[in-house]
Amino acid sequence: MHRPHWQPAITFPSFRDEIESARPRMTRSTFEAAVKNYLKQQRFRHSLSPALLEDLFKKTSYCQRQIAALTRAKRFIEGAEWRRMQKIFRRLIDKELPRLLTRLEKHLDPEFPATDAFVQSIISRFQEVMDELRMGYRLARNEKAVISGYFRPELESQFMLELENYLKRRLPRPITIAQRRLVIAACAIAGNFFDADAASDDVIHRIDSRIVRARQSHRRDADKWKWVEQESLIEE
């Protein structure tokens, strides 16, 4: 994986890396079969285009990988290794490197220009390392905040809200809200977010509740951060 130009050379496991490395849990053919079978059982009489099914598969598969990655990432940020890594960052930034720089600066002397230039070059390199460590520490803390934020609301709820907004744009107008929820239920069951044997009314009720919670959460975020564009996430 190529490192973005703004990212420091100091590396640590990231949530995005975990998502990209997560293995798909289903194929498109098994997803489509499960979706079509559920909709047939519910007497859904509209056909879904191959392009729409492809998009629904990608969104469902991505949510599956997010959930798997989130489990591993949460275990990491709550574990001993994360705390150890943070201690190393702080010790290097607050104590060891400043102490080393102070000692090096004592060797600066304009009466010895060659030595002075040599020491200054070493100081510059260590200052670059210090900047890298500070950036890495901030990114690590941001990563923990991002991972924690994925629990409010749950990923499954965010996924269902995303499908709701997406299907409202992509499905033909005669399709009702109830029928749209059936398509979301089919995707959720195909993705193993709900038990395939669960009663349809119970699944739809749980989907409705999750979508409401996800909208409320995004509205709170939009109120808190007025500058963040949230329109695509809080559609009615």
Name the band, by pLDDT with cuts 50, 70 and 90, for residue 153.
low
Query: Do residues 32 and 57 lie in contact, with contact meaning Cβ atoms separated by under 8 Å?
Result: yes
Q: Which two tokens stand for residue 154?
A: 């749950």
Query: Do residues 159 and 57 lie in contact, with contact meaning Cβ atoms separated by under 8 Å?
Result: no
Rounded to the nearest 10 degrees, the angle between the axes of helix 155-170 and helix 177-190 is 130
CA pair distance 232, 236, nearest whole angstrom? 10
Name the band, by pLDDT with cuts 50, 70 and 90, for residue 6.
very low
Which of 65, 61, 17 shows the shortest CA–CA distance to 190?
A: 61
Which of 229, 16, 228 shows the shortest CA–CA distance to 143?
A: 16
CA pair distance 38, 222, nearest whole angstrom? 35
CA pair distance 179, 194, nearest whole angstrom? 18
Mention every residue, 6+ apart, whose C-beta is less than 8 A from residue 74.
147
Helix or strand run (H / E) with residue 9: none
Name the band, by pLDDT with cuts 50, 70 and 90, for residue 9.
low
Range with the lowest mean pLDDT among 108-112, 148-152, 156-160, 183-187?
A: 148-152
User: Looking at the whole model, is its pTM more than 0.85?
Assistant: no
Matching residue, tokens 């047939």: 40
Q: Looking at residues 5-20, what average pLDDT do you find?
A: 61
CA pair distance 45, 206, nearest whole angstrom? 23
Helix or strand run (H / E) with residue 125: helix 113-149
Q: How many CB atoms lie within 10 A of CB 76?
A: 18
What confidence tens digit (pLDDT) does each residue in 88-119 have? 989 999 999 999 999 999 999 889 999 999 99
- DSSP assignment letter at 233: G
Query: Do residues 217 and 84 lie in contact, with contact meaning Cβ atoms separated by under 8 Å?
Result: no
CA pair distance 234, 218, nearest whole angstrom? 7
Q: How many CB atoms lie within 10 A of CB 89?
A: 19
Q: Looking at residues 175-183, what average pLDDT do you find?
A: 92
Name the band, by pLDDT with cuts 50, 70 and 90, for residue 138.
confident
What confidence tens digit (pLDDT) does each residue in 35-69 have? 999 999 999 988 899 999 999 999 999 999 888 88
Which of 149, 167, 133 shows the shortest CA–CA distance to 214?
A: 149
